[in-house]
Amino acid sequence: MSRAIGIIVVALSLLACAVQLQATRERLFPPSAGDADAMYLRSAETLRRLSGAYTVLAADGYWIRALQYYGGTKQRLQAQTWVPEPPPMLAVPTSDDFSLLYPMLDLATSLDPRFTIAYRFGAVFLAEAYPRGAGRPDLAVALLEKGVRAQPDKWEYMEDIGFVHYWYVHNYRAAAGWFQKAGEVPGAPWWLRSLAATTLAQGGDRQSSRVMWEAIRQSAAIDWLRQDAERRLLQLKALDDIDNLQQGVDAFVRTAGHPPADWLTLVRARMVAGIPLDPTRQPYELTAQGRVRLAASSPLAPLPEEPRQIGAPEAPPH
């Protein structure tokens, strides 16, 4: 018996060392896409047999690898980006970028089906628009649905699925259905049913988005999720600012017959009190055509593609 335990301990130690050694290797010698595709076991059953009673530890190892892979890929893409990021709806991932993210998350959650952080963080990484994420909301939904199958009373996963449909896919009927389903789970917050009704009737609007991000901010048990929600709320504030400033610029154009040359022109015309700043204290841009935009250098850039109300005309890009 003691010999068997010793063999298991040695095997797990070697597995942990291999994971750490691979992480160090990738930091020093980034692998090519072809090498990366061959690095990982993709069978949860095989890993479960190898890890024995320590499958949760193995799940943690693959979750750490997923974090390293996501962060490293995102950092590499940002280093390659020498022009402003494209609008989220136009950004299309390549066939290789983030290709291992879902398999890693799938392995981690197969080894530990109750791995809440892996489901919820992983869904964000998958759904986030490229190049900040994989740009694959379909895989985010698949991962969260897997979590619901493992824990049918986990209303948070249902809320997250609804949010992916709302924010990233703009499928309001699907979003409303999942919000309603989440609201029917005992212990779920009351506002989920109200949100379901509003989403089904109106589609997307900024106020509904603000309610959802504020709910995520207040309920997040993890700092990263809370900080991401705070950033999203600041982006919504910037969108409000841009709409209000654009009204002032349009009023100037109607009076003067031409766009203002710069913000100082509007200051002198008493249309604005000073150079307008976004919530991170970066000046907003004013184009030669008289359009107000968020500066590409702002920490809030790029602004999200907003969900639109049902029947509302498409807004001009910010």
Q: Is residue 252 part of a domain?
A: no
* Residue of 237, 214, 235, 234 whose CA lies nearest to 226: 214
Asked if residue 233 is part of any domain, the answer here is no
> At 200, is the pLDDT very low, low, confident or very high (cuts 50, 70, 90)?
confident
Tell me if the pTM is above 0.85. Answer: no
Q: Is the pLDDT of residue 227 over 60?
A: yes
Q: Does 287 score more than 60 pLDDT?
A: yes
Q: Which residues pair with 277 in a beta bridge?
A: 283
- Confidence class for position 208, pLDDT limits 50, 70, 90: confident
Q: Considering the domain boundaries, does residue 304 fall inside one? A: no
pLDDT band at 16 (very low <50, low <70, confident <90, very high): very low
Residue 18 has pLDDT above 60, yes or no: no
Asked if residue 272 belongs to a domain, the reply is no
Determine the pLDDT at residue 240.
95
**How far is 48 from 303, CA to CA, in rounded Å?**
42
Please give the DSSP secondary-structure letter assigned to residue 285.
E
pLDDT average, residue stretch 102-117: 94
For residue 302, the one-letter residue type is P
In a domain, 129, yes or no: yes
Q: Is the pLDDT of residue 177 over 70?
A: yes
Range of the domain at 84: 36-228
Task: Give the Cβ contact number of residue 134 at 10 Å.
Answer: 24
What's the number of domains the chain is made of?
Answer: 1
289 in a structural domain: no
Question: Would residue 183 count as lying in a domain?
Answer: yes
pLDDT of residue 241: 96
Mean pLDDT of 259-287: 95
Q: Which CATH number do you get for residue 214?
A: 1.25.40.10
Q: What is the mean pLDDT of the chain?
A: 81
Q: Is the pLDDT of residue 86 over 70?
A: no
Which is nearest to 121 in space by CA: 19, 216, 204, 235? 216
* pLDDT value, residue 189: 87
